[in-house]
Amino acid sequence: MAEFCAARAVRVVDSRQPAPRLARVGGSGHMDAMTENDPEAALRRSLFRHRAFATGLLALMAALMAAGYAMPPDPAALFLRDAAKAGLIGGIADWFAVTALFRHPLGLPIPHTAILPAQKERLGAALGRFVANHVFTGADVTRFLAGLDIPALLGRFLADPAMSTPLAEAIAGALPRLLDSVEDGRAR
């Protein structure tokens, strides 16, 4: 069970794979004009908008900090400058911390960065063990399955024509192929 959970528990982007590029239509380069053949296009557009918003806030903090230095040194200007400086430093620190988990920031091989790609197998196995030992223990699964009345559930499922009709059609379509694949009592 632990191996099953470990194999499926974590999906970390492999840093050796190039990130998929966004296809743009026309020359404007506007993100909303992307082609819709990518099922994750809406997610990519949302990510682009959030990144643009965060970058805009970072630029606003830098501009407010510069304006605070240009103003005469009164308490309001000092407060504006220091608040903007704190916002700018906090934004850069957050960017660095999140980026450092997945890759080397600015392409520099800084120690203790790109942690997740380097440790994804170990982290996936540890998360799988945790799920198997603490979330889906054998006793919990047994207790859950013992509480199910499977014959009653199956009976309700088959009694509903909206469920039983498609199931019967699928079985009727697959049965001839299944019987054709069996030759002399053995599967081919």
**Tokens (6 digits) for 40:** 């994750």
**Boundaries of every domain in the chain:** 2-136, 149-188
User: Is residue 19 a contact partner of residue 48, using CB atoms and an 8 Å limit?
Assistant: no
Question: What does 151-168 look like in DSSP terms, one character per residue?
Answer: HHHHHHHHH-HHHHHHHH
pLDDT tens for residues 51-85?
Answer: 999 999 999 999 999 999 999 989 999 999 999 99
Distance CA(44)–CA(32), nearest Å, equals: 10
Distance CA(21)–CA(36), nearest Å, equals: 13
Whether 107 has a pLDDT exceeding 90, the answer reads no
The half-sphere exposure of 52 on its side-chain side, counting CA atoms within 13 A, is 8
**Predicted local confidence at residue 35, as pLDDT:** 54
pLDDT tens for residues 20-60?
Answer: 444 444 444 444 445 557 879 999 999 999 999 999 999 99
Question: What does 33-85 look like in DSSP terms, one character per residue?
Answer: GB-S-STTHHHHHHHHHHHHHHHHHHHHHHHHHHHHHHS-S-HHHHHHHHHHH
